[in-house]
Structure 1
Amino acid sequence: MRRAKEQGLAGAHVLHAIEGFSPGGPVVHHRTFGLRDRLPLCVVIVDDRPAVDRFLGSLDPRMQVDSIVLDRVYQLTPHDGTPRTDKE
């Protein structure tokens, strides 16, 4: 999160899972939580494609990353539901 903020990304979120698995791996789950637990995480980065590419290129290659999914999203304004196109 710190690195995403330092690089000026539009937004970032970490979703901490209570259960999950990756290809070829066991199902991991815990009913009690601690910061040291190696539970599944989903990190969502929101910005335009060049900014996301720069961020991905800055990650430490020793980090354990199971998969990266890139998807185009549309931001709707809460007032009228009109899609914004400035960050596609």
Structure 2
Amino acid sequence: MAPHDAPEPARPAAPADLVDFSVDLTSHEVHRRAQVLAALGPDWDPIEALLGEDAAYDLLYGNLDAEQQRIHDELVAAGVLPARGGGRAAS
């Protein structure tokens, strides 16, 4: 077939040809949450997990020298790190 005889490419559907499509994922979300809680197990304690995260944060950002503290404070001011303990890293 010669290039001038080639068929025209298909055009996208006009907006009037669109079909309203919606999916309710509520039951899927409930199932997903149930699976997450089942994977965590009956011994999972959310308060203990949060306290562990706080302790890890204190270890990570504790005992900073002056330059490290300045950078930490800039990151807190920029919203990169959460403000804790009056905006200062743990000492």
Which of the five TM-score ranges fits, normalised by the shorter chain? under 0.3
- TM-score, normalised with respect to structure 1: 0.26
Greater Rg over alpha carbons, structure: 2
* Structure number having the greater helix percentage: 2
- TM-score, normalised with respect to structure 2: 0.25
